[in-house]
A and B are shown apart, each in its own frame.
Chain A
Amino acid sequence: MRLVIIFCLWIGTHCIGQKNRIQEINEVTITFNLDTVKIQNEWEGINASKIESLQVNDAAGLIRKLTSTSIKSYGGLGGLKTVSSRGLGANHSKIVADGFSITNTQNGQVNLGQIHSDNIIYVRSNSDGRSQFLQPISAQVAGSQFSLETFENNFGNEGLQFRLLAKQGSFNQWGTYGAMKFSSEKLLFSGHGSFRSADGNYPFTLVNGNQTSEETRSNNDYTDYHFGFTSGIKKGKSVIRLGYMQKEFDQGLPGAVILYNNSADERIENRDQNLFGDYVFKGNKTSLRSFIKINENHMKYTDPNYLGQDGGIDISYRNRSMQAGIVGENKLAENLKIHFGAEEVISDLLVSDTTFASPLRYHNYAILGLKYKFSKRFNLSIQLSEQFIKENNSAGISAENKFKINPYIELSTKDESQKFGHEIWYRSSFRMPSFNELYYNNIGNVNLEPEEAHQINYGWSLSNSPKGILQWYFRNNVYLNYVTNKIIAIPTKNLFTWSMQNVENARILGADFKLGSKWGITEHLKFDLDLNYSFQRAVDVSDPNSPTYKDQIAYIPIHTGNIDFSINYRTFGMRLSNYTNSLRYSLNENISANQVEGFWVSTLSTYYALKLKNKNNLTFRFTVKNLFNSQYAVIRSFVMPGRNYLIVLKYAFN
């Protein structure tokens, strides 16, 4: 079970990025030549104004608004939150911040709860391969991918900009964020810092059989701060950039709500340092990006009440990684493009506990693909990726080296008006076992094979004219996925010693629907309506004789949905945001004893904006989260906060 706790770590990196966008007819033109995400149309992701009006605590609050995602949340500010997409496990999801992969080879997952949202200006998921232009190969070959872009690492030609934000909320939550950014024709520079804290002791209703009692979450305090700098120069078609980012966290782990036992004393301290840089060239025929990122994550876990001989646990982990790569695209002919890339990620783990392994991993990626436009309307994209992983555990047995080749193929078409398009694609991918899964004392299993995923997707979209008063966009995906060699923990030595094994296969039949619309009734009065619904029938197909055969996989909801409505009138606006999950099961056996109830959570956010002189803006926001005080848990025994409030004051220059 310590493994679960150890999963509660890490935050990734931020890094550098890109451009400014000007909306065109159903397309977004890149004005600056550092773009690593091709935005097909404005409806695909979540833009800055929606992000601001959502007033979420972290990146998980944004990603859950995207279709076919399920967030596992253990609750609280900074608490562990991971995303899985399309029924694949969280380890298949790659998070890319400003064009750099967030890597954590220790546990293979990124804690979205520790990624601030105040600086995020764009979020999207990239399930297909088309939108991953100049992204790191390590992200392009993952089963699913989410891109985040931040204010301080997106550069246009805006000159000097400032952002200052302060917030205060329930459970003694405080937060500040400040950023300065300068970008001209030749130079770019940004610096930012932020701070968040909360005591996190939120009240909840404990249901115990037929009895209820009012309780308070304890040992749920959280403090973090981030700071970073980015600078660079532009010359002609080239840009060079270098940046540094540091994040520190200190948090209590409230643990599961255990009946009759309120003890909770575990803590995590974490320091995450990142040095990153890239060079981008965008010519008429050739685009090229080379990048490097060095990351060190230092995590200290303590549990003074652990009943070992030494009177508790105090253990430190250092997970270091260096990733470097090159990715590019070349136009061979008017209708033929080649894309290619290579990347090397070297990572290790140093643990203060001498009985732990000492793993070092070399992970090599390469990719080669062709995009062929064989009529005005049809596009064919074919790609092969290669991965070679070499493992070296100097303190014991090493996992075997792995070599894999994975294909990706896509056929897409759009009508001439660009309003209707559809595509079909297939990809195979895998995720490597993490260091914890391979080497963690007793739990780890060096014989683990990678977990494989096969995905077939058909999607279509339709939109109306972007010039009308009412604009709308509709998208639907239907997909069938197979996951084999799923890595799960089962007791293999005794009930207390669970070990990781490749013993499960899953089949996921999914569909998602998304409707985005905006209605500008007058110049000043505007409505937005965003709806989405996702269906994920993810079933266990491991063993026909098992009691869980064809049962829904634990913690994947069959139905998830979002309904967001906003109204803006001159300087005033409000947004009602709703998020719902159907019931889930805490274990794979779909019996009532394992049910975790479905939930519906609503957030009401209002704002008042003041436009001052000389590009100075002041915005005041008031948000009620969990408006109807829903008592719910995403993960069994990890209760979520009830109704709570947040006040935000934001100043922006330019």
Chain B
Amino acid sequence: MRLIKLLSYLSLLLFSCGKDNKPPVMIDSVTNGALVLCEGLFQQNNSQLSFVSFEDNQVENNFFLNRNNRQLGDTGNDLKRYGDKIYVVVNVSSTIEVIDALSFSSIKQISMMNGSAAKQPRSIAFHNGRAYVTCFDGYVDVIDTVSLTVDSRIQVGSNPEGIAIANNKLFVSNSGGLNGPLMDSTVSVIDLNTNQEIEKITVGMNPGTIKTDIFDDIYVIVRGNYGSIPSRMKRINSESNVIEESFNFNISGISHFNNDFLITQYDYNTNEANVSLFNTSTKEIEIASFLNLNEVQTLYHLTFDSIGNRFLVSDAMGFTNSGYVREYNIQGDYIQSHHVGLNPSKILVYE
């Protein structure tokens, strides 16, 4: 029996090899860099945070694990900072990881379960000391950011995805994505005084990303059916709750760029990607091709770093290979790439 055990250990030693056998990087000074949420893949429990240092261009993967001795979970979906806390929304694990923004140790893991069923949280927004979290089970959870407990639940449409705040109202895009091909087409409007849904605006099939501009207009992407019904952007007047404009260009994502938007577009079939500049004052595309994306294989997310004046493009590399954060200067020239985890998406910039 000893022989068998010995052989067993030997076999493990012999067969343990990967092509990335470099010593893991640990970054001491978490400044002048970017915290990157790598979503991972469904059922692989491999969502993680990476920290990219602009100081020495080092990357620390497994950033959360290294500081908390445990994994983030399965399929991280949103990453935001509010005050001195970072909130990571972990969709399949159904948790919200609340992390100290300086020490990076977990303050609390909020379990987002409803009895034995997972609520599947998706996106988070903050207002007046409260966090609002869209949950795929058809609710927005209201979390007190001091006690870090769920105070109440607000019923909305099916599979709410994005969340934006304007005029003391919450705008929640109800994707209905789990009902494909019969998806939802509404945005729920919630009065933040009463925490009640006051209206559902019909915006178009499969609404997803939703953003507020500096004029308190709401922009929502209706993603269509990924086929005959194309993806489009709509503008909602946040006072009247009325759609005022539909934009006739293909769109995958919206990112803030100073007072304007960067419109990203990625075609899953052809792998073609484009970034254009949308002027929120004139409400028109100002520059049709804003970044040269030759280095990017799969444009997944775009973040503008207003501190370092650089663009950070999350490249998902076909979704099953570890990804890159690709850095561009303010002129739109490619600078360098940082190798991070699987499916990098949301980025928080650190001074």
Interface of A toward B, CB cutoff 8 Å: 1, 208-211, 255-263, 265, 305-310, 355, 441-442, 490-497, 546-548, 551, 558-559, 578, 580, 582-583, 586-595, 597-598, 600, 602, 628, 630, 636-637
Q: B332 interface residue, CB < 8 Å from A?
A: no
Q: B173 interface residue, CB < 8 Å from A?
A: no
Known: A209-B70, A305-B116, A495-B316. 7 other contacts (CB 8 A): A209-B68, A258-B73, A259-B74, A260-B94, A309-B158, A497-B226, A547-B322
**How many residues on chain B are close to A (CB under 8 Å)?**
70
> Nearest 5 pairs between A and B by C-beta?
A582-B15, A493-B226, A600-B8, A256-B43, A592-B18
A600 engages B7 (CB within 8 Å)? yes
B73 engages A591 (CB within 8 Å)? no
Q: B69 interface residue, CB < 8 Å from A?
A: yes
Shortest Cβ distance from A491 into B: residue: B319
B268 engages A258 (CB within 8 Å)? no
Given contacts A260-B93, A306-B178, A592-B18, contact A598 B343 (CB under 8 A): no
Chain B neighbourhood of A587, CB < 8 A: 41, 44, 320-321
Chain A neighbourhood of B207, CB < 8 A: none
Q: B201 interface residue, CB < 8 Å from A?
A: no
Total number of residue pairs linking A and B with CB closer than 8 Å? 168
B92 interface neighbour in A261, A262, A586, Cβ under 8 Å: A261
A261 engages B319 (CB within 8 Å)? no
Kindly state the separation between the CA atoms of A258 and B4 in the bound complex, as whole angstroms. Answer: 32
Q: B42 interface residue, CB < 8 Å from A?
A: yes
Interface of B toward A, CB cutoff 8 Å: 1, 4-5, 7-8, 11-12, 14-21, 39, 41-46, 61, 65, 68-71, 73-74, 90, 92-95, 109, 111, 113, 116-118, 120, 136-138, 158-159, 176-182, 184, 223, 226-227, 268-269, 316-322, 341-343
Given contacts A589-B320, A593-B342, contact A578 B42 (CB under 8 A): no
B319 engages A490 (CB within 8 Å)? yes
Shortest Cβ distance from A580 into B: residue: B11
Interface of A is mostly: loop
21 contacts between A and B (CB under 8 A): A210-B70, A257-B45, A259-B71, A259-B74, A261-B74, A261-B113, A308-B158, A442-B180, A493-B227, A496-B177, A546-B318, A559-B11, A582-B11, A583-B15, A589-B322, A591-B19, A593-B341, A593-B342, A600-B4, A628-B5, A637-B43
Kindly state the separation between the CA atoms of A645 and B306 in the bound complex, as whole angstroms. Answer: 63
Shortest Cβ distance from A550 into B: residue: B19
Kindly state the separation between the CA atoms of A253 and B317 in the bound complex, as whole angstroms. Answer: 32
Chain A neighbourhood of B21, CB < 8 A: 592
Chain A nearest CB, measured from B199 CB (Å)? 20
B69 engages A211 (CB within 8 Å)? yes
A441 engages B180 (CB within 8 Å)? yes
Chain B nearest CB, measured from A607 CB (Å)? 20
Chain A neighbourhood of B179, CB < 8 A: 308-310
Chain A neighbourhood of B43, CB < 8 A: 1, 255-256, 258, 636-637
Chain A nearest CB, measured from B111 CB (Å)? 7
A602 engages B93 (CB within 8 Å)? no
B70 engages A211 (CB within 8 Å)? yes
Shortest Cβ distance from A313 into B: residue: B178
B180 engages A263 (CB within 8 Å)? no
B93 engages A598 (CB within 8 Å)? no
Given contacts A209-B68, A308-B179, A637-B45, contact A259 B19 (CB under 8 A): no
Kindly state the separation between the CA atoms of A209 and B65 in the bound complex, as whole angstroms. Answer: 6
Kindly state the separation between the CA atoms of A261 and B118 in the bound complex, as whole angstroms. Answer: 7
Chain B neighbourhood of A591, CB < 8 A: 18-20, 322
Kindly state the separation between the CA atoms of A442 and B180 in the bound complex, as whole angstroms. Answer: 8
Kindly state the separation between the CA atoms of A261 and B343 in the bound complex, as whole angstroms. Answer: 21
Shortest Cβ distance from B252 into A: residue: A494
B45 interface neighbour in A259, A263, A495, A547, Cβ under 8 Å: A259
Shortest Cβ distance from B117 into A: residue: A305
Chain B neighbourhood of A261, CB < 8 A: 73-74, 92-95, 113, 118
Kindly state the separation between the CA atoms of A211 and B65 in the bound complex, as whole angstroms. Answer: 10
B138 engages A208 (CB within 8 Å)? no
Kindly state the separation between the CA atoms of A255 and B159 in the bound complex, as whole angstroms. Answer: 22
Given contacts A1-B42, A494-B268, A583-B15, contact A263 B93 (CB under 8 A): no
Kindly state the separation between the CA atoms of A211 and B69 in the bound complex, as whole angstroms. Answer: 7
A583 engages B16 (CB within 8 Å)? yes
Chain B neighbourhood of A586, CB < 8 A: 44
Chain B neighbourhood of A493, CB < 8 A: 226-227, 268
A636 engages B118 (CB within 8 Å)? no
A307 engages B120 (CB within 8 Å)? yes
A494 engages B226 (CB within 8 Å)? yes
Shortest Cβ distance from B38 into A: residue: A593
Chain B neighbourhood of A602, CB < 8 A: 4
Chain A nearest CB, measured from B257 CB (Å)? 23
Kindly state the separation between the CA atoms of A208 and B93 in the bound complex, as whole angstroms. Answer: 13
Kindly state the separation between the CA atoms of A637 and B71 in the bound complex, as whole angstroms. Answer: 13
Kindly state the separation between the CA atoms of A258 and B71 in the bound complex, as whole angstroms. Answer: 11
Shortest Cβ distance from B21 into A: residue: A592
Shortest Cβ distance from B73 into A: residue: A259
B20 engages A592 (CB within 8 Å)? yes
Name the residue in A255, A262, A308, A441 with the highest tally of chain B Cβ atoms < 10 Å from its Cβ: A308
Kindly state the separation between the CA atoms of A594 and B223 in the bound complex, as whole angstroms. Answer: 32
Shortest Cβ distance from A1 into B: residue: B42
Chain B neighbourhood of A492, CB < 8 A: 268-269
Shortest Cβ distance from A593 into B: residue: B46
Name the residue in B43, B138, B343 with the highest tally of chain A Cβ atoms < 10 Å from its Cβ: B43
Chain A nearest CB, measured from B209 CB (Å)? 12
Chain B neighbourhood of A600, CB < 8 A: 4, 7-8, 11
A441 engages B15 (CB within 8 Å)? no
A307 interface neighbour in B7, B41, B68, B136, Cβ under 8 Å: B136
B8 interface neighbour in A257, A260, A307, A580, Cβ under 8 Å: A580
Kindly state the separation between the CA atoms of A583 and B342 in the bound complex, as whole angstroms. Answer: 20
Chain A nearest CB, measured from B159 CB (Å)? 6
Kindly state the separation between the CA atoms of A546 and B21 in the bound complex, as whole angstroms. Answer: 19
Chain B neighbourhood of A598, CB < 8 A: 11-12, 15-16
Chain B neighbourhood of A258, CB < 8 A: 43, 45, 73-74, 92-93
Kindly state the separation between the CA atoms of A592 and B65 in the bound complex, as whole angstroms. Answer: 15
A495 engages B319 (CB within 8 Å)? yes
Shortest Cβ distance from A548 into B: residue: B321
Chain A neighbourhood of B109, CB < 8 A: 260
Chain B neighbourhood of A442, CB < 8 A: 180-181
Chain A nearest CB, measured from B42 CB (Å)? 6
Kindly state the separation between the CA atoms of A559 and B176 in the bound complex, as whole angstroms. Answer: 45
Given contacts A490-B318, A586-B44, contact A260 B19 (CB under 8 A): no
Kindly state the separation between the CA atoms of A595 and B16 in the bound complex, as whole angstroms. Answer: 8
Kindly state the separation between the CA atoms of A597 and B17 in the bound complex, as whole angstroms. Answer: 10
Chain B nearest CB, measured from A245 CB (Å)? 34
Given contacts A209-B68, A263-B116, contact A590 B178 (CB under 8 A): no
Kindly state the separation between the CA atoms of A467 and B320 in the bound complex, as whole angstroms. Answer: 56
